[in-house]
Amino acid sequence: MKILCLGDSNTYGYDPRSYIGSRYPEGVRWTSRLEGHEVINCGLNGMTVPRNHARAIGLIRSNEPDLVVVMLGTNDLTGGLSAEQIAERMEAFLDSISSLGRTVLLIAPPVLQYGEWVMDDDIIEESGRLGDIYRELAERKGCLFADAGKWGIEMAFDGVHFSPEGHSVFAEHMNNLLQENQL
């Protein structure tokens, strides 16, 4: 199965210990650990839920994946948007990519934690609400859904990015999810 992953730095595999945007090695990143699948990692550092969908539509059309995985919202949260505002943007985004006839898996990102980049109770609270709001959205839109906020993902010192162990746990949950859904 060909899987196209749209996401932010946690999909990209950003290593927060680097100062120049380096990635964790290939074998550490969750996208490189999905067993038996061809994975196209389209994660971008800093990506938010897009308002202009042309890039994503182009990626889907040119790669023709069987499954499109979308995990976005963290940067929207740190940019000051509420969970409801993010879900409104996500709904428009899902509408545009769903029209391409691909199976879509919407993943609510892990809940942010206190760290060097996260010191605000409100952002942590909003990130905790995103899972339930995305679940409802996925049900309405007929998408597959997963709530990574319930997966116990270990975060790095910054409270935003996955640690190497977090990537491992995320990959394990993704492999189970793909197997359970016979994907």
Whole-angstrom distance, CA of residue 118 vs CA of residue 41: 26
> Which residues lie closer than 8 Å to 30 by C-beta, 6 or more apart?
11, 13, 162, 167, 168, 170, 171, 174
pLDDT band at 158 (very low <50, low <70, confident <90, very high): very high
Position 143 scores a pLDDT of 96
pLDDT of residue 115: 76
Domains of the chain: 2-180 (3.40.50.1110)
**Could you tell me if 145 and 134 are in contact, meaning their C-beta atoms sit under 8 angstroms apart?**
yes
**Residue 112: what pLDDT?**
92
More confident residue, 50 or 183: 50
Residue 76 has pLDDT above 80, yes or no: yes
Identify the band that residue 120 occupies on the pLDDT scale cut at 50, 70 and 90.
confident
Of 16-20, 21-25, 102-106, the range with the lowest mean pLDDT is: 16-20
Tell me, what's the pLDDT at 1? Answer: 94
Query: Residue 119 has what pLDDT?
Result: 78
Q: With b meaning 16 or more CB within 10 Å and e meaning fewer, what string describes 42-80? A: bbbeebbbbeebeebeebbeeeebebbbbbbbbbbbbee
Rounded-to-integer distance, Cα 45 and Cα 155, Å: 16
